Chains A and B, each alone.
Chain A
């Protein structure tokens, strides 16, 4: 897939943003490489570095691509190119990207695409530096908020970027890690490839095919001769033809504009010269100025030819013009990759060093970039190199050369062949083979004859036109020249090869592929995290208000891999457990064979009591224990809650004459539903009897107690007081006055709403400095609330009248009861309010209450309060 395609594919997935650049890379995590796609995406002036994964490599549809990570390109963003650490191929380029503490490492193939990508990256970073105002990155928030990366250097997991992770519910995002631990698909693909390549001999076999390779420097002539003499001189038709020409056209026109009528003329001549024992189809034709290479295959074999590509390399003037150089065609035939190169190397007798250099240039520069990754000549199983390589016979008398070759005594002369000498010295064509030469030199003749060049230069004839090969299982059958073709100053050369090509047995391949898959599945499933818990039902018997109970859940790792467990929240739930539950620890790691003890504590406190009392909630919760990369286990927690006056509304309490336990749950639920209708006070107590019991007790026994309300009570005594209130008793109220005082505060705190309802708080705070207005607010309270408020304030004034004994002062009580009467709305767990604003609120609340502790307000006194 080309970069343009990738870019537009990715772009179509990002409708509101602009994708500036896109590149396929390998993400490096230790020694593991996985395919990723990088994109630089911008919106509203800012840009970000996206790491994308694909379910398919390469992606075919935008739906294949998903976002794995985002690093905003801001002032923290840094990247580095590392060209030093070169891979064994010497071709790889490393890109490391860092932001805050995280660091990512990618490997990319240097190419024009990677250059363009890096260029965009520089621009984006530059943009951040040049912008003076703060850049807007909010558009990134719509992408999945939790993005983690393995830190490439230490393997620790870290958030990529705070601004992306900071979304409010990121801590409890539920399914982030489900099954993430299973092998990423790209990694799996490379494992499959590796395992399949190890088993190649089980599904591959080799079959021999005949390949005809021909080369001819035609010296700019037109094809006036019949080429069958050259191309179909053998009995059997070859399976593949690769035919190369040099100096197809020597005109300036061809040289400057790479345009020539000769191409078509010679092509037609070739086609009519092909062996008539088979039907051929053209695979590819490539030409650079005078160098042309055309590849044919028998029609019936065409279906096995894939991945056809070509490239040209000019090595002429300025190292790039096409008067010299090479053209190449590559293809896959069955499962063997084949490359044909037709070259015309530098001329002139003494210039063998230039020829060596031309060879090296062609070898390294020829690149079939439509392949992914791009292929060079060396990446092929079979390479055939043909052409006018221009190596000469030197350091020997031309006359002697001619004499020898006339006697077909080539061996002596070949000792002086530059190509053979250079090959021996390993300066050129390393690893290539050439058959022994048993034909006369192919250059230079007087055109139209078999006579050696008669010009005054008097050069030695030479084997300029050669065919070499590289690769296993290639056997040369013929290596010859075709002297009957006389239209050029060169003679054509050809070689026949029997090349063994690897073929996949489709049935066996499929079977082995499935076996490999099965094996991987098995491995993957074996290495899934596994734990056992001793129970999935945690049952608490009777749970009482404020009394904590806990049970332990033992999570034992019975699998083969370390387990990361976490209690995760259910869909649409704000938290992973209900508020009367506490799990410690709620996440953790367990190594194989080890256990982790998790404490499950149930404690109904002032926050959760009301919902349980009023039937809105039950002591029942299903916890989802998730193993990262594996299964979930459901743990059911249940218990019986013993209802209590704590956590019951003032109205309901006032309407109950009996102790609360003597009333059925149903009737409490009923009363809670109808509590607004009690506001007239008819048929109810003026204040809840529980409030009266506690206050009256304090009135009688505690007015002189030192620091009443300030000194804490005892838990056990408070539980006793709770039972006394809930069950009723003939005995006197148990516990010290301090415990009674604390129970009173707790009773108010656990009411579903404070004495002054939430919606009136703002008004109270706004008029806190004005007693008249404060009184009006109290006047506006519902019947029971007004009674409770005035009753309590009257009692507090009574307490203050004994301040010499109890040491209490107005400010302390005002502050304490300000917080009780106007308690703040509960905030979700883990959220804290700024302290300064809270202090201001508290101060105003205490001012509000203060008025009622120092002033008389006979106008407010309701008729029903008894003293």
Chain B
């Protein structure tokens, strides 16, 4: 009978819209990419997280005021020998988290090269966040907050220092990405808000024809 359409939002507008986004995690091995995802998705932390050999896949939803953002998360292998496979995962992604370890300067350098690669090769509208993980290990810190902050600002990246171990800023960084992602018709462009099937044809067809804009 009545009310088949189900409940409405408190403000009377229709059910919140759901947007689906592909998010990829990149960064040197052992900086804590999988731990960040595990903390975000399952609220867990393992001191001895297995090394990812491949690309793990999980989904997680984030509720904003007016929208619900569903992330399809691709957590990639960090080892250098798998580097050439990374484009399979960041191509067509609407968001990326580039992770480094605050206790390891090299990983910060590696993060910068990831950012460069994304800026060159990924979708031009990709939202990139820089995560300085292992922030709980303050006494072993090698990368200063200000240095990373300045770099992030220069490159228009979201930036947070996170700790998958304590959970600090883990939900926050995903939430910040969700907020920054384009959810209205004002932002088009290749890949945004698209299913990945169409993204694949981006390389052959012009973006204007490969998706329904």
Measuring CB to CB, which residues of chain A are less than 8 angstroms from any residue of chain B?
Answer: 10, 12-16, 52-53, 55-57, 60-67, 142-144, 146, 173-176, 178-180, 182, 185, 188-189, 192-194, 196-197, 200, 203-204, 303-307, 332, 334-335, 337, 378-381, 471, 504-506, 509-510, 513-514, 517-518, 520-521, 524-525, 528, 536, 570-571, 622, 624-625, 630-634, 636
Contact A179 B63 (CB under 8 A): no
User: Contact string, B169-213, partner A, CB cutoff 8 A, digits 1/0?
Assistant: 000000000000000110111001111111011001100111111
A contact residues around B1 at 8 Å (CB)? 378-379
Nearest residue, chain B, Cβ from A506 = B10
A contact residues around B211 at 8 Å (CB)? 13, 62-63, 66
Contact B17 A56 (CB under 8 A): yes
B12, B91, B197, B213: residue with the most chain A Cβ atoms closer than 10 Å: B197
| Cβ distance B91 to chain A, nearest Cβ, rounded Å | 7
Contact A509 B10 (CB under 8 A): yes
Contact A517 B61 (CB under 8 A): yes
Pick from B70, B84, B200, B209: contact of A142, CB below 8 A: B209
A contact residues around B197 at 8 Å (CB)? 66-67, 144, 146, 175-176, 180
Contact B195 A53 (CB under 8 A): yes
- At the interface with chain A, which of B48-56, B101-109, B111-119, B142-150? B48-56
Contact A204 B213 (CB under 8 A): no
Contact B6 A631 (CB under 8 A): no
Tell me, in angstroms, the Cα distance from A524 to B213 when the chains sit together: 30
Contact A381 B2 (CB under 8 A): yes
Pick from B57, B92, B195: contact of A528, CB below 8 A: B57
Tell me, in angstroms, the Cα distance from A625 to B212 when the chains sit together: 31
A contact residues around B8 at 8 Å (CB)? 306, 332, 335, 504
Contact A179 B12 (CB under 8 A): no
Contact A142 B201 (CB under 8 A): yes
* Given contact pairs A521-B59, A632-B57, a sample of 20 additional A-B residue pairs in the complex whose CB atoms are under 8 Å apart: A61-B184, A63-B185, A63-B192, A66-B211, A144-B201, A175-B197, A182-B72, A185-B20, A204-B7, A304-B12, A335-B7, A335-B8, A378-B2, A506-B10, A513-B16, A513-B63, A521-B60, A536-B54, A571-B87, A634-B54
Check: B157 CB closer than 8 A to any chain A CB.
no
5 contacts between A and B (CB under 8 A): A174-B200, A179-B196, A504-B10, A513-B63, A525-B42
Nearest residue, chain A, Cβ from B21 = A55
| Cβ distance A13 to chain B, nearest Cβ, rounded Å | 3
Contact A196 B7 (CB under 8 A): yes
Tell me, in angstroms, the Cα distance from A62 to B207 when the chains sit together: 13
6 shortest A-B CB distances, which residue pairs? Answer: A13-B212, A61-B185, A506-B10, A306-B12, A633-B54, A65-B212
Pick from A64, A332, A525, A624: contact of B12, CB below 8 A: A332
Contact B19 A521 (CB under 8 A): no
User: Contact string, B64-101, partner A, CB cutoff 8 A, digits 1/0?
Assistant: 00001010100001000110110110011000000000
Tell me, in angstroms, the Cα distance from A146 to B200 when the chains sit together: 11
Nearest residue, chain B, Cβ from A14 = B212
Tell me, in angstroms, the Cα distance from A589 to B88 when the chains sit together: 23
Nearest residue, chain B, Cβ from A305 = B12
A contact residues around B58 at 8 Å (CB)? 525, 528
Check: B3 CB closer than 8 A to any chain A CB.
yes
User: Contact string, B25-57, partner A, CB cutoff 8 A, digits 1/0?
Assistant: 000000000000000011000000000011111
Pick from B60, B88, B194, B200: contact of A63, CB below 8 A: B194
Measuring CB to CB, which residues of chain B are less than 8 angstroms from any residue of chain A?
Answer: 1-13, 15-20, 41-42, 53-61, 63, 68, 70, 72, 77, 81-82, 84-85, 87-88, 91-92, 184-185, 187-189, 192-198, 200-201, 204-205, 208-213
Contact B81 A622 (CB under 8 A): yes
Contact A510 B63 (CB under 8 A): yes
A contact residues around B6 at 8 Å (CB)? 193-194, 196-197
A contact residues around B18 at 8 Å (CB)? 55-56, 185, 188-189, 192
| Cβ distance A473 to chain B, nearest Cβ, rounded Å | 12
Nearest residue, chain A, Cβ from B63 = A514
Known: A55-B193, A335-B8. A15 touches B208 (CB 8 A): yes
Known: A65-B212, A66-B198. A624 touches B85 (CB 8 A): yes
Contact B72 A306 (CB under 8 A): no
| Cβ distance A336 to chain B, nearest Cβ, rounded Å | 8
Known: A56-B19, A144-B200. A62 touches B7 (CB 8 A): no
Pick from B7, B13, B17, B196: contact of A306, CB below 8 A: B13
Contact A197 B7 (CB under 8 A): yes
B contact residues around A10 at 8 Å (CB)? 212
| Cβ distance B37 to chain A, nearest Cβ, rounded Å | 11
Nearest residue, chain A, Cβ from B86 = A571
Tell me, in angstroms, the Cα distance from A175 to B204 when the chains sit together: 14
Contact A636 B63 (CB under 8 A): no
B contact residues around A62 at 8 Å (CB)? 185, 188, 211-213
Tell me, in angstroms, the Cα distance from A188 to B69 when the chains sit together: 12
A contact residues around B55 at 8 Å (CB)? 631-632
Contact B212 A504 (CB under 8 A): no
Tell me, in angstroms, the Cα distance from A252 to B72 when the chains sit together: 65
B10, B15, B18, B58: residue with the most chain A Cβ atoms closer than 10 Å: B10
Known: A197-B7, A303-B12, A632-B54. A517 touches B68 (CB 8 A): yes
B contact residues around A380 at 8 Å (CB)? 2
| Cβ distance A577 to chain B, nearest Cβ, rounded Å | 14
Tell me, in angstroms, the Cα distance from A636 to B77 when the chains sit together: 13
B contact residues around A509 at 8 Å (CB)? 7, 9-10
Pick from A56, A143, A334, A634: contact of B201, CB below 8 A: A143
Contact A63 B19 (CB under 8 A): no
Contact B193 A15 (CB under 8 A): no
| Cβ distance A459 to chain B, nearest Cβ, rounded Å | 39
Nearest residue, chain B, Cβ from A176 = B197
B contact residues around A504 at 8 Å (CB)? 7-10
B contact residues around A13 at 8 Å (CB)? 211-213
B contact residues around A337 at 8 Å (CB)? 2-3
B contact residues around A174 at 8 Å (CB)? 88, 200
A contact residues around B20 at 8 Å (CB)? 55, 185
Contact B61 A179 (CB under 8 A): no
Contact B53 A634 (CB under 8 A): yes
Tell me, in angstroms, the Cα distance from A570 to B184 when the chains sit together: 33
Known: A536-B53, A632-B54. A517 touches B59 (CB 8 A): no
Tell me, in angstroms, the Cα distance from A335 to B6 when the chains sit together: 9
Tell me, in angstroms, the Cα distance from A337 to B8 when the chains sit together: 11
Tell me, in angstroms, the Cα distance from A625 to B70 when the chains sit together: 25
